[in-house]
Amino acid sequence: MKKSTNTVIKSYNVIGDDIFYHHTFSERAGNDYYHAPGTHRQHEVLLLLSGSVSYIIEGETYNVSAGDMIFVAPGEIHTLKIAGDQPYERIVLLFDMTVIEGMMRELNVNLRAFSYDGRNRFHIIPASHVKEYSLDRLLFDILSYEDDNYKRLLIMSKLIRFIVNIDKMIEENKDNFIKPDFRDKTIAAATEYIDEHIKEPIRLDTLAEQLYVSKSTLCHKFAQTMNMTVNNYVALKKSKAATELLREGRSATEVASILGYDNYTSFFNNYKKMTGVSPTSNLRRTTQKKRGARAEEREKKKS
pLDDT score, position 212: 94
Q: Are 221 and 187 in contact (CB under 8 A)?
A: yes
Low-confidence ranges of the chain (pLDDT < 70): 1-4, 15-17, 115-121, 145-147, 282-303
Give the residues across from 260 on adjacent strands. Answer: none
Computed on alpha carbons and rounded to an integer, the radius of gyration of the chain in Å comes to 20
* Structural domains in the chain plus CATH codes: 6-172 (2.60.120.280), 184-285 (1.10.10.60)
The model carries a pTM of: 0.81
Give the residue from 104, 121, 103 showing the smallest Cα distance to 166. Answer: 121
CA 113 to chain centre: 14
- Give the CA distances from residue 24 to residues 38, 72, 88, 93, in Å, rounded to whole numbers and listed in that order: 18, 18, 8, 11
Distance CA 115, CA 35 (A): 28
Q: Which residues contact 96 (CB under 8 A, 6 or more apart)?
A: 17, 18, 19, 41, 42, 43
pLDDT score, position 284: 58
Give the residues across from 80 on adjacent strands. Answer: 55
pLDDT score, position 295: 44
Distance CA 188, CA 45 (A): 23
Instruction: Tell me the pLDDT tens digit for each residue of 213-246.
Output: 999 999 999 998 888 999 999 999 999 899 889 8
pLDDT score, position 18: 78
pLDDT score, position 170: 84
- Give the CA distances from residue 140 to residues 136, 143, 197, in Å, rounded to whole numbers and listed in that order: 6, 6, 40
pLDDT score, position 66: 96
Distance CA 163, CA 44 (A): 12
pLDDT score, position 90: 96
CB count, 10 Å around CB of 8? 9
Query: Which of helix, strand or coil describes residue 208?
Result: helix
Distance CA 155, CA 166 (A): 16
pLDDT score, position 120: 53
Query: Which of helix, strand or coil describes residue 212?
Result: coil
